[in-house]
Chain A
Amino acid sequence: MNKYLVPCVALLGLALLTPRADAVDLFIKARACPAGGHVSIPVYGTNVSANTLWGIDFAAVIDNAALTAYPDANNAFTPEVSSATDVIVTGNTFVGGGTQPNLYVGYVKGATGFDITKAFGLLKVQVAAGTAAKTVINLNVPATYNVKNDGTGNDVSRAGATAVTSTATAGAPVVAETVTVKADTGGTGNLVPLHQVAVIKPGDINGDTNVNANDLNVLKSKLSGKTIPTTVWGAWSPVGGDVAPPNGYTVSDIGGTAGFGYGDSVVNSNDMNVLKAFLGNKPGTPFPVPEA
């Protein structure tokens, strides 16, 4: 990991600070992951001030020690659109001092900047074996940040999230911008909270470790406005039930137009139909499965 640390900081430091009042909305989706497995969490941003986002880093404070960064640092964060000059730093440590988060991601595009129409990438985390089913683990991404970037490449500390944009290529002035960590997508209906990991299999809405007609029953009842016991529909349920691909999803374009991979962060009839298709072994309908 350290081999990435220096170039990352160097790239950040090479840029010149030019304060701007711009911002970026950061979305880290919720994902279901059974105990002992790992899962790739989509990370993406919207409302970027310009399509010149050059680098982003963020930290997370995790409220359960069972969730950790993927130990293989080279695969802990996978860019959706990668280039040879990307610099990625991940791990349970972070750059510089300050309050140490549990997980840190620094991702700087070397020359081209981000394609903001795509997700940033997939953050891979793992859930320790033996973690109780139905546990919901929060990736608490602080909404405030502390940047001290004097352009020298030194003394960079972050206790939260930040983003940097540049109108120039690498080496041009760096602009620190406000990051708004979103709680949900702002849609309507049964919204799925963001930045959570539910310790269940995708589709296991009632958390009984099986994906079957019981889950179909619970989801259908939820969408019908039925009162459901909290033992059957709990905090894990929306995460487990958000199984439909986002709009625009295709097999060849997993980024789609509204997200990344599966899950549009709203539990609705699309998820119902996907779950039914899965239970019916209907060909051609993707369904999320736990990662090996």
Chain B
Amino acid sequence: MTTPKALLVACALLMGTAALADPVLTIDRAGLKKGVEGTMTLRLSNVVDNVSAYQIIIQFPPGAVTVREAGISTAASPGTWDTPVTNWEADKGKLWLVSASVDGQGNGVLITVPVTLNVDSLGVPVLFDPETNIADVAWNGYYLTGSSVIVNGAVKKVGEGAKVAAAPGTVAVAAGTKLYVLDAALADKPGFEGGKDLGGTASGRPAIKDGLIAVGTAEGTGKVYSDAGQEVASVALGGPVKAAPAITPLGIYWPVEKAAGPALVFNGVETPLGAAGDKLTSSPAVFGGKLFVGTDKAAKVMNVDATGALAPQADMAAGENFSTSPFIMAGGNGVVAAGSKVWPFVAATGAPGAPVNAPTALSDPVGPFAGPAVFGGADGKVYTLVDTNINGVTFGSAPVVPVVPGAPVWAADTAGKFGKVGGDIVDLAGAVTGGVVTDGTNVLVAVGDDLVSVAK
């Protein structure tokens, strides 16, 4: 399925391969719902010289949308733009927008268009007529042709606050009371048509491993499905599940926040992680014979025996408020963050190293399995930890949520900026809370009530 939102996102991102002089036109339709007027935004940016005039023509599938032409507005900063000439040809589904800047100083344009979606999903790419044209004050003209802006991607409405996990070929999304399990094109996988009703509100990110998909609810139930859609288990856990469980060949470790305090529940056996009132702050990570999990009081280290049973050992950096899940690299070195403090540790022993201080609070660390670890920063930067050095690169202006590592690093901030660090970034114009994940081929981000997939 190809849909405009992913298309917009991807169009801008892929246009990064073009010459820098090419302007970028991105369109965002985040949050559009069938039958309810929402806002579509068009943003013109990445111009070498200042844009002085534009003619934008957008072709919608006829009947798919209704545009309230009188509500179209333009803003730009800096610079002043004429009120755009607009023309909405409802029968053809064609929208025309034309304007010029008064003083040739308009560096970028933001156009907002009131749009009502008349169908569940546009389903067909938004086409830009080949006549689409933008001119800059150095007398250059640019054509934003269809081939330059139409790409493949997918979007699916899953509901607000979706928590997303991905593995090669499988995307699991917990949103509201539903668990969606999707293929790479965001279509329901066989056995998961329409999503699974969890019988409660999903409260943690799903986990995918070894042919199983597990997710917990705020009502204290752990749900486990096979990748064919069969319910394998429905476990009463005695408290809300706060994060993603850890799936192992021996069983599933569920992070549960009970009245008596946080605990891990494994095959019906409960391992306390603290006192009443302590908070679970992370998902557990299992590496070799150790399990690591964070609370707001300490990073807990457990020995794991051959049956999967846990035996606590001394806490790592007791007294710290561990705000993230741990990340363990192939070599056995792990990191976990407590606010702006990064604690390295040796996974084989649980022995911590000296903390490394970042200038801001950090998100969950991620990384290629061989490292280095990469974090999102609350200051809008993406941080990379190499040895004991942590360096930030500006990405957005709002806190950056967990990223997808690699070259480039993909990231999103809570304000809706999404894209490549050091590359093209688009504005999804919606809240992103869950970070970005990858199934290896695509990068996925939940924004508003949409799940967007873009080719990596």
Contact = CB atoms under 8 A, between A and B. Distances in A.
A280 B139 contact: no
A33 B349 CA distance: 85
Nearest to B103: A224
Contact of B139 (A206, A276, A277, A283): A206
B101 A212 contact: no
The 10 lowest CB-CB distance pairs between A and B, nearest first, are A217-B135, A280-B85, A217-B53, A220-B100, A216-B53, A280-B98, A213-B133, A214-B141, A213-B55, A217-B52
Interface of B: 52-55, 82, 84-87, 89, 94, 96-104, 131, 133-137, 139, 141
Most chain A CB within 10 A, of B54, B87, B94, B139, is at B139
A241 to B, nearest CB: 13
A216 B98 contact: yes
Contacts of B139: 206, 214, 217-218, 228-229, 232
Contacts of A3: none
Contacts of B135: 212-214, 216-218
Interface in A251-292: 272-273, 276-277, 279-283
Give the size range of A's interface with the partner: 20 to 34
Given A217-B135, A220-B102, 6 more contacts: A212-B133, A213-B53, A214-B139, A217-B53, A276-B85, A280-B87
A155 B448 CA distance: 89
A221 interface: yes
Given A213-B141, A276-B82, A281-B89, A220 B53 contact: yes
Nearest to B97: A280
Contact of A276 (B98, B103, B136, B141): B98
Given A213-B98, A216-B53, A218-B139, A224 B104 contact: yes
Contact of A281 (B87, B133, B137, B141): B87
Contacts of B102: 220, 224
Nearest to A221: B104
A42 to B, nearest CB: 27
Contacts of A272: 100
A207 B154 CA distance: 42
Contact of A216 (B55, B86, B96, B103): B55
Contacts of A216: 53, 55, 98, 100, 135
A47 to B, nearest CB: 37
Contacts of B133: 212-214
Given A212-B133, A213-B141, A214-B141, A276 B99 contact: yes
A221 to B, nearest CB: 6
A282 B85 contact: yes
Contacts of A224: 102-104
8 contacts: A212-B131, A213-B133, A224-B102, A232-B139, A273-B85, A276-B85, A276-B100, A280-B55
A221 B98 CA distance: 16
A255 to B, nearest CB: 27
A217 B141 CA distance: 9
B73 to A, nearest CB: 15
Contacts of B54: 213
Contacts of A232: 139
B85 A279 contact: yes
Contacts of B103: 224
